[in-house]
Amino acid sequence: MSIASPLPSASGTDLKARLEQLRVRIGGRIRLGLYSRSMRYGLCRDLNMPLEKPNAKIPIEVRLATDGDLRSLLSLEESHDGEDRLEIAWRRAFADKGAKRCFVAIDLRNDTPCYMQWLFNAADNPFIQQLGGFPLLQPHEALLENAYTPAKYRGLGIMSAAMARIAERASDIGASHVITFVDDHNIPSLKGCQRAGFNPHLLHHRTQLAFGIVKRNSFETLAETDPRRTQKF
């Protein structure tokens, strides 16, 4: 089951959550300031290459998300710190835009969702290009985007274990290569991606103006001989 939005169109509690989501997102925009520059690694996994999939420290399984999974993962709670609230708010907005094919990892000990990530293929290019910040996918390519692990599940190796398994679902939608993007300073996530079989393939340079309203993106494919292709994070 693919999900367009984790939020119903009801009033009351839902309206309060949406207002909080908007407040958090505005705060995130303000943090960008009038001018900012950033760089992300585009990492790629070739599904034709064998990989010994990493295991998490808890038993998990991967499946398509349900409405209930997304409500559980994307609930804005007062206990969340500022950074976590921003991460959740952006993913709620992402789902509200109509993002399809979200996968979750389930903690088999209690049937609780403990990780999420969306998987796209070339047929999703119109949606992806509306988002901005991503190259056009070729017919053999898929994109993994917007991973999120709740705070209580971090440090258990869930990201790399789940990501390795979700990436393999790309073969079901006609892709043999899967790419994902990670900020260059996010070393824990870069390490997790490498454990899941992903290695640097290209660089994404982004300039944002006027609190992120104006964005300029460029992509640089790393040469086969570039040492960054084989670096270990």
Contact between 133 and 94 (Cβ < 8 Å): no
Report the distance separating Cα 24 and Cα 36, nearest Å. Answer: 19
In a domain, 21, yes or no: yes
Total domains in the fold of the chain: 1
- pLDDT at site 150: 94
In a domain, 62, yes or no: yes
In a domain, 3, yes or no: no
- pLDDT at site 79: 64
In a domain, 4, yes or no: no
Mean pLDDT by 10-residue block, N- to C-terminus, for the chain (233 residues)? Answer: 42 60 64 80 97 97 96 80 83 89 98 97 95 93 96 96 98 97 95 97 88 82 95 93
The size of the chain, in residues, is 233
In a domain, 161, yes or no: yes
Whether this model's pTM surpasses 0.85: no
- pLDDT at site 10: 40
- pLDDT at site 2: 40
- Beta-bridge partners for 118: 102, 145
Locus of tokens 């949406």: 18
Q: What is the CATH number of the domain that holds 154?
A: 3.40.630.30
In a domain, 7, yes or no: no
Contact between 79 and 181 (Cβ < 8 Å): no
- pLDDT at site 32: 63
**Structural domain for 190, as ranges:** 13-229
In a domain, 2, yes or no: no
- pLDDT at site 1: 39
What are the structure tokens assigned to 150, written together?
């709740």
In a domain, 8, yes or no: no
- pLDDT at site 34: 77
- pLDDT at site 3: 42
Helix H or strand E segment including 43: strand 35-46
Q: Where are the beta strands (DSSP E) in 97-229?
A: 102-107, 112-121, 141-148, 177-183, 199-209, 214-221
Contact between 55 and 220 (Cβ < 8 Å): no
Contact between 40 and 182 (Cβ < 8 Å): yes
